[in-house]
């Protein structure tokens, strides 16, 4: 199964594509789609949409995995901004007929690390190990996207 994990954000959207066969993972592609804070919101969302659309076209994933929005009462604007980025990603998945799956961050951490409250560094190290990477990815957004893809593989395997 080829899985596209995306960690959406307005400034840096991380992505990771893996192939999962049995208990083995192969990294296909990973990176970021950056936008410039000085650009208008429409241009930034357009860049995210175009980037995800091209990524889907190029890699042809079987599904796309996103993290569910967690809205903290102290930072309500964050969920609003995140929702805009997620919206264009969901649209790209729909227009390309790619099934969309969502998981809570704690569910992803539990699937990948074994603890729902695992730290970012624990997730980074586990992703690096599972994909046999020589070093930690430069951006945590990439690690988070890869963790989403890996978690989906584990969760789907246990559903069957």
Beta-bridged to residue 25, according to DSSP, are: 20
Sorting pLDDT into bands at 50, 70 and 90, what band is 94? Answer: very high
Report domain 2-159's class: alpha beta
Q: Is the dihedral of CA 133, 139, 143, 145 positive or negative?
A: negative
Provide the residue ranges of all domains of the chain, joining segments of one domain with +: 2-159
For the segment 110-127, what is each residue's pLDDT rounded down to a tens digit?
999 999 999 999 999 999
Q: In this model, does residue 72 exceed pLDDT 90? A: no
Distance, CA of 67 to CA of 62 (rounded, Å): 17
pLDDT score for 73? 65
Query: Is 58 marked active-site?
Result: no
pLDDT score for 129? 95
- Beta carbons within 10 angstroms of residue 64's beta carbon: 28
For the segment 8-29, what is each residue's pLDDT rounded down to a tens digit?
999 999 999 999 998 799 999 9
Question: Which residue in the list 7, 29, 58, 144 is annotated as catalytic?
Answer: 7
Q: Give the mean model confidence (pLDDT) for residues 118-146.
A: 95
Token pair, residue 155, equals: 């969760």
As a whole number of Å, the end-to-end CA separation of the chain is 14
Residue 32 Rama label (left phi>0; alpha psi -120 to 50; beta): beta
Q: What is the model's pTM?
A: 0.94
Question: Which residue in the list 62, 67, 102, 156 is annotated as catalytic?
Answer: 67
Query: Is 7 marked active-site?
Result: yes
Query: Is 141 marked active-site?
Result: yes
Question: Which residue in the list 29, 102, 141, 156 is annotated as catalytic?
Answer: 141
């Amino acid at each position: 199964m080829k899985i596209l994990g995306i960690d959406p954000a307005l400034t840096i959207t991380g992505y990771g594509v893996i192939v999962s066969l049995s208990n083995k993972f192969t990294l296909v592609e990973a990176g970021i789609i950056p936008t410039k804070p000085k650009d208008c919101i429409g241009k930034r969302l357009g860049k995210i949409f175009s980037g995800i659309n091209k990524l889907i076209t190029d890699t042809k994933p079987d599904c796309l995995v996103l993290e569910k929005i967690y809205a903290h009462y102290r930072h309500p604007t964050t969920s609003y901004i995140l929702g805009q980025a997620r919206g264009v990603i969901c649209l790209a998945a729909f227009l390309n007929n790619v099934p969309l799956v969502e998981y809570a961050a704690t569910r992803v951490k539990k699937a990948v690390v074994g603890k729902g409250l695992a730290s970012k560094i624990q997730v980074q190290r586990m992703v690096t190990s599972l994909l046999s990477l020589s070093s930690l990815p430069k951006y945590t957004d990439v690690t988070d996207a890869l963790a989403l893809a890996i978690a989906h593989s584990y969760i789907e395997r246990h559903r069957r």
